[in-house]
């Protein structure tokens, strides 16, 4: 895609052929340029100026330029042409520009991490807990439930199973999301959405991970709940309440339901209170 | 913070003063450099090399360098020293490097946007619906519930109220999250976490937004549900079921509960099934 394209930039009788950057249209009247091969900075700037001029004539709005990290030499020239950063991943930087004089409606960058906390209780009412080697809990002696970050493209329910397996070696079945917590400024300016997940253990033999986990054990629930840290902090108290209500009461969280996307047929999960939904017959006259 | 610091880089009797980049420690044995003022590239590279060498001696792990967009000239030299991109926002780029020979445990970038969809039903069982001027629904004639992206640092329940107000002029009270849907590749490689929110209208007079909204109205619920698009696609069907169960049945979603963070006293929201939790008295012998 990264070789310049020849287009007719002028339709008024005189054929006017100009080199532009290779680009595709997006769903919002914008343009996406994915640079793939190295290009001399001066050539790039010349093409970029001609392209912007042509896209302006066409009434295009947002312009996205994706630069792989090995094309880092094009970052400075792109910014000098008025682009700004949109987002970055380890191997590329995405820059954007807004052509019209109207308000810029380029969507914001991803602002959240999805994070899981896994409640795994065995038949003896022991809770699967760990002590971590780094982070805020390092050296505190606090026993906590396994937690971890959902990978890009990973489903929450699968992330919960993966993290428990990685940290403790325990296989689990995902049951429900018991609660969701949104926390701001969790990693620099980004927020975390924590899914507190109820899991059922499918194995009991703990094999702790060396890299991040100091210790792991099945701990009697009362002993976990009696930790001063757990008693002192609201989130941890609520995790305790949720466990207890799940053990003795009738708490229903959200269970995962696979659904197909309206636009690209991809599978995704809808988490909802399936008991309440299933207990209800939809009146036929409502449709 | 961006003037070089003099430190004693050597503690073995011979004072050895060296210029390093200004840095602070993080909670994970790492280093954070926030560049603020312009610096010559060559001076920067000299300081960076000396700093990495010193931090290696100190046993530091991850190194974060935050470069404001007006210091874009330092991006290429930083990458050439072995750094890669971590994340970017409109006005800065964050680069990272991992000093030890062990597995890199630098946390992943934010991978999700939080998005809301707002179900607002009035006393006449009419649903607040809109048609959008751009995006996938443009020109389809589909009437849909108001949706929008949660801003960085914004609470989900507040985002739902803001989006409904912006798009339709209607004031609302936030009631519950009825369901949560995780969708991958929603914006480039990033995923969306959609909170389907039940809201109660506090006003009825629609003032539609010009920029993004083609039309807005209160629509009889049956008419909304009968749209072919709604009947055809699973997510939209489930939104209909959730509405109907809420109207006629006994569906309980997650309601927001303000809690204080364990680490920085900031307020955050925990969304949980408060009815089920409140119906249960915790046995005192569990603690």
How far A261 CA lies from chain B's nearest CA (Å)?
7
Which of the residues A93, A150, A160, A183 would you substitute to probe the B interface, choosing the one with the greatest number of B C-beta atoms within 10 Å? A183
How far B45 CA lies from chain A's nearest CA (Å)?
16
pLDDT band at B279 (very low <50, low <70, confident <90, very high): confident
pLDDT in tens, A17-42: 568 999 999 888 999 999 999 999 99
Choice among A12-21, A75-84, A92-101, B254-263 with the minimum mean pLDDT: A12-21
pLDDT above 50 (res B13)? no
pLDDT above 90 (res A43)? yes
Predicted TM-score of the model (pTM): 0.88
Q: Scanning the structure block, which residue is given the tokens 């913070």?
A: B1
Q: Scanning the structure block, which residue is given the tokens 């996406």?
A: A32
A5-98 classified as CATH 3.50.50.60: no
* Phi, psi of A136, deg, nearest 5: -65, -25
- Residue A210 neighbours by CB under 8 Å, 6+ apart: none
pLDDT in tens, B149-177: 999 899 999 999 999 999 999 999 999 99
Q: In sequence order, what are the beta bridge partners of B238?
A: none
Mean pLDDT of A137-146: 91
Choice among B1-5, B18-22, B58-62, B228-232 with the minimum mean pLDDT: B1-5
pLDDT value for B105: 86
* Phi, psi of B193, deg, nearest 5: -110, 110
Do B269 and A181 lie within an 8 Å CB cutoff? yes
Characterize the bridge pairing of strands B112-120 and B190-201. parallel
**Cα B158 from Cα B106, distance rounded (Å):** 31
Which of the residues A112, A121, A231, A281 would you substitute to probe the B interface, choosing the one with the greatest number of B C-beta atoms within 10 Å? A112
pLDDT in tens, B170-205: 999 999 999 999 999 888 889 999 999 999 999 999
Q: Let me know the angle formed at the C-alpha of A246 by A243 and A250, rounded to the nearest 5 degrees.
A: 150
Name the more confident of B7 and B281. B281
Where b means 16+ CB within 10 Å and e means fewer, B112-145 reads: bbbbbbbbbbeeeebbbbbbbbbeebeeeebbbb
Catalytic residue among A166, A210, A214, A223, which? A166
B110: nearest CB among A75, A110, A250: A110
pLDDT value for B286: 53
Chain B neighbors of A259, CB-CB under 8 A = 181, 234-235, 238
Q: Token pair for residue B21? A: 């980049």
pLDDT value for B18: 65
Where do the domains of chain A lie? 5-98, 112-248
Q: Token pair for residue B167? A: 């798009």
Q: In this predicted complex, what is the ipTM?
A: 0.87
- Length of chain A equals 287
Q: Could you tell me which of A247, A209, A52, A272 has the C-alpha nearest to residue B283?
A: A247
Pick the CATH number of B112-248 from 3.90.180.10, 3.40.630.30, 3.30.565.10, 3.90.79.10: 3.90.79.10
A181: nearest CB among B149, B191, B268: B268
Characterize the bridge pairing of strands B255-260 and B24-25. unpaired
Q: Could you tell me which of A253, A78, A114, A220 has the C-alpha nearest to residue B109?
A: A114
pLDDT value for B7: 45
- Known active-site residue A212: no
pLDDT in tens, A46-55: 999 999 999 9
Detail the DSSP E strand segments found in A21-83. Answer: 24-25, 31-34, 62-68
CA distances from residue A62 to A20, A54, A86, A105, B200 in whole angstroms, order as listed: 16, 13, 12, 8, 35
CB B56 within 8 A of CB A60: no
């Amino acid at each position: 895609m990264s070789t310049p394209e020849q287009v007719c930039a002028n339709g008024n009788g005189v054929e006017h052929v100009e080199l532009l950057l290779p680009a595709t249209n997006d769903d919002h009247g914008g343009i996406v340029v994915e640079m793939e091969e190295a290009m001399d900075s001066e050539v790039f700037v010349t093409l970029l100026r001609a392209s912007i001029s042509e896209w302006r004539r066409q009434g295009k709005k947002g312009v996205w330029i994706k630069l792989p990290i090995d094309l880092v030499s094009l970052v400075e020239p792109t910014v000098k042409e008025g682009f700004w950063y949109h987002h970055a991943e380890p191997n590329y930087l995405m820059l954007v520009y807004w052509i019209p004089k109207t308000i810029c409606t380029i969507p914001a960058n991803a602002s959240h991490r999805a994070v899981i906390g896994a409640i795994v209780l065995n038949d003896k009412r022991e809770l699967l807990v760990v002590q971590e080697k780094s982070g805020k809990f390092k050296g505190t002696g606090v026993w906590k439930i396994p937690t971890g970050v959902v990978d890009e493209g990973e489903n929450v329910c699968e992330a919960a199973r993966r993290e428990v397996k990685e940290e403790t070696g325990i296989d689990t079945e995902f049951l429900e999301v018991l609660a969701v917590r949104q926390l701001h400024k969790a990693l620099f300016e980004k927020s975390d959405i924590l899914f507190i997940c109820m899991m059922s253990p499918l194995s009991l033999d703990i094999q702790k991970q060396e890299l991040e986990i100091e210790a792991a054990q099945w701990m009697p629930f009362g002993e976990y709940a009696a930790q001063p840290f757990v008693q002192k902090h609201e989130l941890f108290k609520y995790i305790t309440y949720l466990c207890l209500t799940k053990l003795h009461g009738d708490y229903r969280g959200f269970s995962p339901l696979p659904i197909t996307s309206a636009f690209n047929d991809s599978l995704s999960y809808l988490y909802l209170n399936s008991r309440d939904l299933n207990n209800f017959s939809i009146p036929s006259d409502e449709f």
